[in-house]
Amino acid sequence: MKSLRELAARLARQREWSLVALILLLSFGVWLKAPQFLSAANLSQVAILAAIIAVAAIGEALVVITRNVDLSVDSTIGLVAYAVAELLRQHTLGVTGAIAFGICLGLVLGMINGGIITLFRVPSIVATLGTLSIYRGFAYLIAGGGQISLSDLPAEYIALARASVLGIPLYVVVAAVLTLMVSIYLRQTRFGRQVYAIGSNPEGAAVLGIRSRLVVFAVFAASGCLAGLAGVLWGAKYGTITAGAADGVVLLVIASAVVGGVNIFGGSGSVVGAVLGALFLGLVANGLTLSRLSQFWLQAIYGLVILVAVAADAAIVRRLLRASAERRRAITATEAPQP
């Protein structure tokens, strides 16, 4: 089983390097058609938008690795973005306090998802489909049909989207730091190994004494927390916030994780791949805009990317199962007594 997990991890890394090559090729192709693509202003905007999706995709990757899915991501982002903006408009909290509130709100929403799934044994796709509507409903209830304009928000909050560290957009720095921290934690800690073990072999994880429900609860809490942070970043970037903020973004978040090599069947993949997936899809969206092509193609591409990635993962899983079966037959034949 260990050798199979190592093979799956190696295939995921190959997917990541292939994605890097594809990003470079895509950038070159878009540049040939639209030279302004490589302008500092355009690349900065692409990176900022990709960073917001990447933050949420990191949390989604953790969930998917455990053979689950979080469909409530965009509702969490939208609810947090509106709640934080409303607090700032009413001067209830300062910028730092509002940011902390938004992250904590996302954490609570993620814990609700995790509690429903682990305590009541509800399949994650059903549970988060329900909370997807519930969280969005709360956003509409709070908004009451209104919206928050850019002029209603403090300049310090809006400035986050334009801030930079050594010339690098702050959003990109945040996404990079989170990627590094979560990657190290997944690869170097017992909890991280348990996350992969649950996804690759739930029955085997139970035999080893891994508390699967606690781990699954934790990854959903982490997904909600990161979606909350993405909601804070979303609000600062767009300024004008409605109850429908980030509607439909869940497709982009899941596509980022899957195209980045996170196996939809669980057990393999990395947050680095999910972040690369977010960057790739961000470049696709920007390329379509610069090429003045219909945005219909954008949604179609997202769906196609998910289908292709899932089909590839299914083929890989079948290949691994066949290899495992052949290995067991070979060992059995070797150990059988000779006549």
pLDDT tens, per residue, the chain with 339 residues: 455 556 556 556 667 777 888 888 888 988 998 899 989 999 999 999 999 999 999 999 999 999 999 999 999 999 999 999 999 999 999 999 999 999 999 999 999 999 999 999 999 999 999 999 999 999 999 999 889 999 999 999 999 999 999 999 999 999 999 999 999 999 999 999 999 999 988 888 888 899 999 999 999 999 999 999 999 999 999 989 999 999 989 999 999 999 888 988 888 889 999 999 999 999 988 988 888 877 677 778 778 877 887 787 777 667 766 776 777 777 776 765 655
Domain with 304, as residue range(s), is 2-335
- Cα angle, residue 243 at apex, residues 241 and 244 outer, rounded to 5°: 90
Give CA–CA dist 270/324, Å, rounded.
Answer: 23
Give CA–CA dist 297/332, Å, rounded.
Answer: 52
State residue 337's pLDDT score: 60
Spatial neighbors of 34 by CB under 8 A, at least 6 apart, are 287, 290, 291
| Run of H or E including 121 | none
C-alpha to C-alpha distances, 242 to 56, 81, 128, 140, 235, nearest whole angstrom: 19, 9, 22, 8, 10
The closest of 31, 1, 19, 5 to 290, measured between CA atoms, is: 31
State residue 167's pLDDT score: 92
Cβ burial, residue 40 (10 Å; 0-12/13-18/19+): exposed
- Which stretches does DSSP call E strand in the chain? 164-165, 168-169
State residue 8's pLDDT score: 58
CATH of the domain at 252: 1.10.3470
Give CA–CA dist 261/274, Å, rounded.
Answer: 7
Number of domains in the chain: 1
Residue type, position 111, single letter: M
State residue 329's pLDDT score: 78
Decide: 60 and 184 in contact? Cβ < 8 Å: no
